[in-house]
Amino acid sequence: MTDTPLYPWSIGSLARALLFYGQAQGHADRRVLEAVAIYYSLFHLGMFLVFACPKHHTSDLLKSKIQTRVGSGDDPSRKVKHSALGEFLGTCVQRGLPRALFDAFVRAQDLRVFINYGPRVYWRGSGDISVDTCEHHSSELAAVRIQLSEIFHDAVRWACTEGANGGIWVPHAIREARGFFAHSARRYYADWCTDEEAQVAESLRASLEEEARRRVFGNTT
């Protein structure tokens, strides 16, 4: 596990992260959809690090879930609990990952839960029903959204240093994610996002690939 990159699943996770990144930008005027998109953009970016940097797996639960799924050929990300991902990201912060990803993940998770289960309704069986709608404000979403691009770059820079086999698989995974957004009849996300969202996702992907190639292979111009 430590020496073998989980290469195919890093591609899929990054593609998902980019899809939700594009949708987060596209739904900036629709707060509920924006909250969901921001959270899952960060969740799948974290999963990209899980697969790109396996030497940092410290949770026995995380290891066992991934190994079980890999052995069957299935995508392991479906079995990783969100709490286990948070633990993994916290460990990565202790090992040099810029803290912004972890902090944004925690904050976005709180906002998504608030959206999913708010407003808070309280009643003790008699008397007035109380409703709390003030735990969070929609402006918090924008504060996370404007950080997303730099958080992606932080994650890729760290993965290039900490990834399996000296990070050599990172630029390859980013390159292969292009097929999910390229304008063609076979574009995987064609039915699931607008052309504008796909363009936003592809623009960030291209920027990440350029940075990863420069960091891993040196000046490629």
SS (H, E, C) the chain: CCCCCCHHHHHHHHHHHHHHHHHHHHCCCCHHHHHHHHHHHHHHHHHHHHHHCHHHCCCHHHHHHHHHHHHHCCCHHHHCCHHHHHHHHHHHHHCCCCCHHHHHHHHHHHHHHHHHHCCEEECCCCCCCEEECCCCCCHHHHHHHCCHHHHHHHHHHHHHHHCHHHHCHHHHHHHHHHHHCCCCCCCHHHHCCCHHHHHHHHHHHHHHHHHHHHHHHCCCC
Name which residue leads in pLDDT, 188 or 221: 188
Nearest partner of 50 among 158, 202, 185, judged by Cα: 158
CA atoms of 86 and 59, how far apart (whole Å): 11
pTM, two decimals, is 0.88
Average pLDDT score over the chain: 86
- Residue 84, in any domain of the structure: yes
- Residue 183, in any domain of the structure: yes
Q: What pLDDT is recorded for position 70? A: 62
At 180, is the pLDDT very low, low, confident or very high (cuts 50, 70, 90)? confident
- Residue 188, in any domain of the structure: yes
At 66, is the pLDDT very low, low, confident or very high (cuts 50, 70, 90)? confident
Q: How many residues does the chain have?
A: 221
- Residue 126, in any domain of the structure: no
Question: How many folded domains does the chain comprise?
Answer: 1
- Residue 130, in any domain of the structure: no
Q: What pLDDT is recorded for position 4? A: 54
Residue 209 is part of which domain span?
7-121+135-217
8, pLDDT greater than 70: yes
- Residue 191, in any domain of the structure: yes
- Residue 154, in any domain of the structure: yes
pLDDT digits (tens, 9 = 90+) for 26-62: 887 788 899 999 999 999 999 999 999 988 887 665 6
- Residue 40, in any domain of the structure: yes
219, pLDDT greater than 70: no
114, pLDDT greater than 60: yes
CA atoms of 60 and 75, how far apart (whole Å): 18
